[in-house]
Structure 1
Amino acid sequence: MNIDEIIKNRRATPPRFLLNEKVDKDKISRMLENANWAPTHKETEPWRFIVSQEEKKDELAQDVFSYLQEKSNSGEEVNMQKAVKFRDNLSRVPVAIAIIMQRDEAKRIPEWEEVAAVSMAVQNMWLTATEMEMGAFWASPPFLPLLHNILGLKPGQKLLGFFFVGNISVDFPSPGRGPVEEKVEWR
């Protein structure tokens, strides 16, 4: 595929459309290598990733759910319906990559620029997955801030979601896009 086709074929493939079969480590490494080439202001390279597969991913699914249940039972506001869905999706997919932003210690640039750089790194992973004919989905449930301890995040790090990756069981159709002319003003 050429770059135009890759961009237009990229999908947010829901976890239910991903096969729970092992993904070759070389493919994951290739996605991460391409993520590492995202643009970054002041060369802060704020992206960090934790890759979970197989038993470790299943352990993470249980640990996250148990922790959220504990938080909910102690009065913390946790949408347990979303927690169940997240646990089930995490168990269903073959690869889950925690997306983490590492804030520049000197805070030389605004936080939103660091988030944007991490987002571009994720887009690079997503386009790489598309080129390899794999599906991907960025999950960002509302309880992400509660998971920092479970993942062992360091000071200055912020969890931005989980990137689920796998082979596609059923093609997920494009929702399409409206005409670009409606979104552009030429001067």
Structure 2
Amino acid sequence: MNIDEIIKNRRATPPRFLAKKEVDKAFILKLLENANWAPNHKSTEPWRFQIFQGESKANLAASVFSTLEEIHSRGKEINMQKASKFRDNLLHVPVAIAVVMERDAAERIPEWEEVAAVSMAVQNMWLTATAMDFGAFWATPPFLPFLHQTLGLTPGQKLLGFFFVGHIAMDYPSPGRGDVAAKVEWK
């Protein structure tokens, strides 16, 4: 596949369309290596990743749900239906990668630039997965800020979501795109 085909074939493959088949560690390392080559201003390299598979993923699912239940019981607004769905997705997918942004300690650039750099790292992982015939999905539930302690994040780190990846069990059709000409203004 050439780069145009890879970009156009990239999909957000919902977790239910990922097979419960083990993913080789070499593939995960390839994703991470390509993520590490994302562009970023001032070479801050703000991306950090926590990899969950097997038992660690099951423990994470239980811990996340327990944390959200406890927070909900204290009166915080947590959609427990979404929390249940997230837990079930964690249990279903073969690999869950916590995507974390670590802020440059000197704050030499605006935070949005570091979030953008992490997003580009995720795009590199996504395009790599597509090129290798794997499916991927970036989950960004609204309760992410409540999970920092569960993941052991330190001050200056922010959880930006979970990148689910696995073998494709069922193709997910492209939603397509509108004509680019409608989105461009030549000056």
Cα distance in 2, alignment partners of residues 29 and 15 from structure 1: 21
The one-letter amino acid paired with 1:35 is A
The number of equivalent residue pairs is 187
Q: 2:37: which partner in 1?
A: 37
Q: 1:161: which partner in 2?
A: 161
Cα distance in 1, alignment partners of residues 120 and 176 from structure 2: 21
The one-letter amino acid paired with 1:11 is R
Query: Residues 7-86 of structure 1 correspond to what in structure 2 (within 5 A)?
Result: 7-86=7-86
Q: CA deviation at 1:75?
A: 1.3
Q: 2:143: which partner in 1?
A: 143
Give the TM-score normalised by the residue count of structure 2.
Answer: 0.99
Q: 1:172: which partner in 2?
A: 172
Aligned Cα root-mean-square deviation (Å): 0.5
SS of match in other structure, 1:171? coil
SS of match in other structure, 2:85? helix
Q: 1:100: which partner in 2?
A: 100
Cα distance in 2, alignment partners of residues 140 and 91 from structure 1: 16
Give the TM-score normalised by the residue count of structure 1.
Answer: 0.99
Cα distance in 2, alignment partners of residues 154 and 22 from structure 1: 30
Corresponding position: 1:181 with 2:174: no
SS of match in other structure, 1:151? coil
Q: CA deviation at 1:186?
A: 1.4
Cα distance in 2, alignment partners of residues 170 and 8 from structure 1: 18
SS of match in other structure, 1:135? strand
Cα distance in 2, alignment partners of residues 120 and 5 from structure 1: 18
SS of match in other structure, 2:150? helix
Name whichever of 85-94 and 66-75 sits farther off: 66-75
The one-letter amino acid paired with 2:166 is G
Q: CA deviation at 1:185?
A: 1.2
Q: Which runs of 5+ in 2 are unaligned?
A: none
Corresponding position: 1:122 with 2:116: no
SS of match in other structure, 2:149? helix
The one-letter amino acid paired with 1:72 is H
Q: CA deviation at 1:77?
A: 1.3
